Structure 1
Amino acid sequence: MTAGRTLFVTWYDSNHRSIIPVGRLVHHGGAEGDLFEFRYIQGALEAMERGFQPFIAFPDLCKVYRSSSLFPFFANRVMPTTRPDYLAYLEVLGLDPTEADSVDILARSGGRRETDRIEVVPAPVKDETGGYTTRFLLRGVRYIPGAEDRIARLRFGERLFWMLDAQNESNPSAVALRSADKCLLGYIPDYLVTDIAKLLEHHVSMNVFAEKVNLPPAPLHHRVLCRLEARWPDGFLPFQGEQFQPVGPLTAPPTHADHALQ
């Protein structure tokens, strides 16, 4: 069984306009087949104080759910390959249709729906050079006057400049992005701001680039795919902290024998 790809499930608290991580999905692949594992993390306990309820598909907070295929709760958030706009959708996400699988699509798209407040986000991993690289869709475009017009003129690979927005009422740790001509475009997703703060503590320089610009009719939350690059400091681990720790007793690493369709 190979090392897993890890995605975190977040819940949006609309009252406080904040994003809270509530669960962790890990995909292990290998010669023996696939194994998917879902469990809740400590952030779920905080979210429950604000109205979050465990998912119907995963009702037990302390249970480790395992399956040999992607759980329907997540698979239903991935566009079917039979859709006529499937290839266009992958192009918007900047994914190669010959290589991308359901986990890649879920990680890049976020699996967002209009009917709930759930989003799936990938845990950053070291790139081929040993650096920190992650991709994300620009947030908050709809709330910034003039952002859409400036985004329409962005070029592939254009550098974007980040700045801390400590006076942001929704999140004092928010990180905004602007163009070189000082036009505010949007925000880095909240789920990355803790990692960014840790990188800055290590005095690591960060560079953000517009990797793909999707003009209308692409929805606003798919308008700009960004790439963040930084040096990976010694001892740094992404998505750490109490919120990301599992709920309940720790279990041994899963084996193929543990497969049990949920």
Structure 2
Amino acid sequence: MKTPKTLFLAWQDPISRYWFSIGRLTFDGRVYQFVYTQGVKEAEAKCAFQPLSSFPYLDEVYTSTQLFPVFANRLMSRSRPDYSSFMEWLNIPKDEHDPMTILARSGGERETDTLAVFPCPEIDAQGQYHLYFFSHGLRHLPSCAIERINQFESGEKLWLAHEFQNPYDAQALILNTEDHYIVGYCPRYLLAEMFELIRHKLNLEVQVERVNKPPKPLQFRLLCKITVQASHDYHPFSNPHYQPLIAGFARSRPHSQLNC
């Protein structure tokens, strides 16, 4: 499994429930680096976003040889008895302990805050790239839909549909089966990229990657995979929202100097 080099940090406004891409974490094999992205400006303007306590200055580059606590705290401890089961839910080999890989697949979401992480994928030798996510909103689905999910086989095809009449989010993308069951939603923090793919008319397929059947938690029930056929004139997550807020990296603030 190829280790992702870049993760994006998304923030959800607790009032409007809208998601914004606000930061970017990179790792070069030695040093972790975090910067805020252009998306933080939209979060400020629309929802009065305030800088995270771990990264209090928008115009700084934060570096550390250790994973920043705001990300490390989203990893399950390897000492927990259910750690092996958790890795199985994520469909990651049990001997794979790279934190960037685990965060990329799990999303790093916790009930106690409003943050999530997702990877910037790399194009492979076949000219494709892949996005993995757990289907959202399952607790709002009828029991027949949950039962349909529990019957899924790996590789089963799914379809995305724009639910533009959704009163809570006019950009919502629902996941449908061939026999017309709604089996959840694409995470809101991926919607901007999904609509860019649609706008550029790129070929994409959505498949069931894994189903973690009961009594596994609903939030980890349905793992999906999107496969995109890349093109020469489009790069994943190239929208300005995902680009660094500051031009260049002249100023750097070591993370050890901050009160986290």
Q: Give the TM-score, by structure 1 length.
A: 0.89
CA contact (8 A) 1:10 1:118 kept: yes
| Aligned partner of 2:43 among 37, 41, 47 | 47
> 2: CA distance between counterparts of 1:175 and 1:80?
33
Query: 1:122, CA displacement in angstroms?
Result: 0.8
Amino acid of the structure 1 residue aligned with 2:6? T
CA offsets 1:31-89 (integer angstroms, 9 cap, x no match):
xxx11000111222222341422111111111100011111221111011111111100
| Aligned partner of 2:226 among 209, 216, 228 | 228
The correspondence of residues 12-161 of structure 1 with structure 2, limited to 5 A, is 12-29=12-29, 34-49=30-45, 50-145=47-142, 146-161=144-159
Aligned position for 2:180: 182
Secondary structure of the residue that 1:23 maps to in structure 2?
Answer: strand
| Aligned partner of 2:239 among 218, 238, 241 | 241
Percentage of matched positions with identical amino acids: 38
CA offsets 1:159-213 (integer angstroms, 9 cap, x no match):
1122121222333222211111101001112232222223223333321111100
Secondary structure of the residue that 1:14 maps to in structure 2?
Answer: coil
> 1: CA distance between counterparts of 2:28 and 2:204?
30
CA contact (8 A) 2:4 2:101 kept: no
CA contact (8 A) 1:35 1:259 kept: no
Compared CA separation, residues 142 and 23, structure 1 to 2 (3 A): same
> 2: CA distance between counterparts of 1:4 and 1:85?
24
Compared CA separation, residues 213 and 240, structure 1 to 2 (3 A): same
- How many pairs were matched up? 252
Amino acid of the structure 2 residue aligned with 1:133? H
Amino acid of the structure 1 residue aligned with 2:201? H
Aligned position for 2:10: 10
Amino acid of the structure 1 residue aligned with 2:238? Q
Amino acid of the structure 2 residue aligned with 1:138? S
> 2: CA distance between counterparts of 1:158 and 1:68?
41
Amino acid of the structure 2 residue aligned with 1:28? D
Compared CA separation, residues 128 and 134, structure 1 to 2 (3 A): farther
> 1: CA distance between counterparts of 2:200 and 2:239?
17
Structure 2 unaligned segments of length 5 or more: list them.
none
CA contact (8 A) 2:4 2:120 kept: no
Amino acid of the structure 2 residue aligned with 1:102? P
> 1: CA distance between counterparts of 2:247 and 2:201?
36
Secondary structure of the residue that 1:22 maps to in structure 2?
Answer: strand
CA contact (8 A) 1:138 1:225 kept: yes
> 1: CA distance between counterparts of 2:254 and 2:58?
18
Q: Give the TM-score, by structure 2 length.
A: 0.89
Secondary structure of the residue that 2:147 maps to in structure 1?
Answer: helix
CA contact (8 A) 1:21 1:243 kept: yes
Aligned position for 2:215: 217
Amino acid of the structure 2 residue aligned with 1:26? T
CA contact (8 A) 1:138 1:221 kept: yes
Query: 1:103, CA displacement in angstroms?
Result: 0.9
Structure 1 unaligned segments of length 5 or more: list them.
none
Query: 1:128, CA displacement in angstroms?
Result: 3.6
Secondary structure of the residue that 1:24 maps to in structure 2?
Answer: strand
Compared CA separation, residues 154 and 234, structure 1 to 2 (3 A): same
